[in-house]
Amino acid sequence: MNLKRNAILLTCGAILFTTSGTLLSPMSTQASTMKINQNKIVEIKDPVLKEAIKKQLNLTPDEEITYDNIQKLTDLNVSESAIKTLEGLENAHSLKTLYLYHVQQFDGNLAPIAGLTELTELNVGKANITDLSPLKNLSKNMVGMSFEDNPHLTDNNNILGAFTHLKTLSINNTAISNLDFLKNMYDLDILFLNNLPLDATSQLTYISQNKALTKLSMNNLALSSLEFIRPLQDLQELSVKDNHIVDFRPLTATKVDSHNDDLFSAENQSISLPEGTVELGTHVSLYLPKNDAPVLKWNALGDFVNNQLTWHETGVNTLDFSSNDNLISGTIQQVIK
């Protein structure tokens, strides 16, 4: 027989023959290969990551991270550390939670976790993240994600749109400029959308459909109305600071306690009215929750009666308003001729 290789395996029923005549069982061959793979050392490039994994697995300094023992890694927290890369973590197929918050030296590359489909919670806030595409296949089990304080992060490819089972999401202080990804989300419980480069007014219906929301934060989003929260009857916490809101009556449809500073804040509203004429009133729908009377402070002579704002002086006039506890506050400005 002409041998073209050093060893030939011939299959005959359940037995394998080698050229030396040794008999090998397929099952014993597979078991041997599996054992070798399980004992294979997993290379973790970053020393901070390596130490964190060892600590979580209760390994001694002399013990190696192997393919076998890294499968026992289900939770990992390397927040506020000097970690630079996640290389090697792709072998942790049982990982469910990863906290990577405030890691200023991190390279921002999430590719190593692209195949970790068991992940349920991911926090990569303040981690130099700019690209969400490595996460596109992780939606199956994911229920909580935070990307806050990544100022160059965008989602132009709508990666977030695949995560339809999310309960918690935070994208505060990112460059995400569209809320279309919320279109297919109905189960959100906690949502943070502060300080985004967008006008959220046209996309508020996507938030209204999440009737299970209990905590919502939408500071500095150019909001001019709170009507979208009326369907959110289980809402308990709300922050809408730095917007353009004057009518706070929709709060009464929710469980938000507008007098509890741990649960509610609506300071620094800014409202610019169209140019007006002295002694000619302008309608302003200024309403506090439960029809509480606002505290008013004038910079020019004027009246506010029956929601009609009338100025008795020309100029750039302002009217400051607030609730008694200052959890609601704002300034109405109008040029009067």
pLDDT digits (tens, 9 = 90+) for 228-259: 999 999 999 999 999 999 999 999 999 999 99
Give the residue carrying structure tokens 């992060």: 153
Type and span of the H or E element at 127? none
Query: In this model, does residue 79 exceed pLDDT 60?
Result: yes
Would you state the pLDDT for residue 321?
Answer: 98
**Full-model pTM:** 0.86
Ordered structural domains, the chain, with CATH: 1-38 (no CATH), 45-266 (3.80.10.10)
Q: Where are the alpha helices (DSSP H) in 280-327?
A: none
Q: State the pLDDT confidence band at 1, using cuts at 50, 70 and 90.
A: very low
Q: Give the pLDDT confidence of 257-315 residue by residue, as tens digits.
A: 999 999 999 999 999 999 999 999 999 999 999 889 999 999 999 999 999 999 999 99
Which of 79, 61, 58 has the alpha carbon at shortest distance from 69?
A: 58
Q: Do 190 and 169 contact (CB within 8 A), yes or no? A: yes
Structural tokens at position 193: 């959308």
**CA distances for 77 relative to 19, 53, 94, angstroms:** 52, 9, 15
> Which pLDDT score is estimated for 29?
43
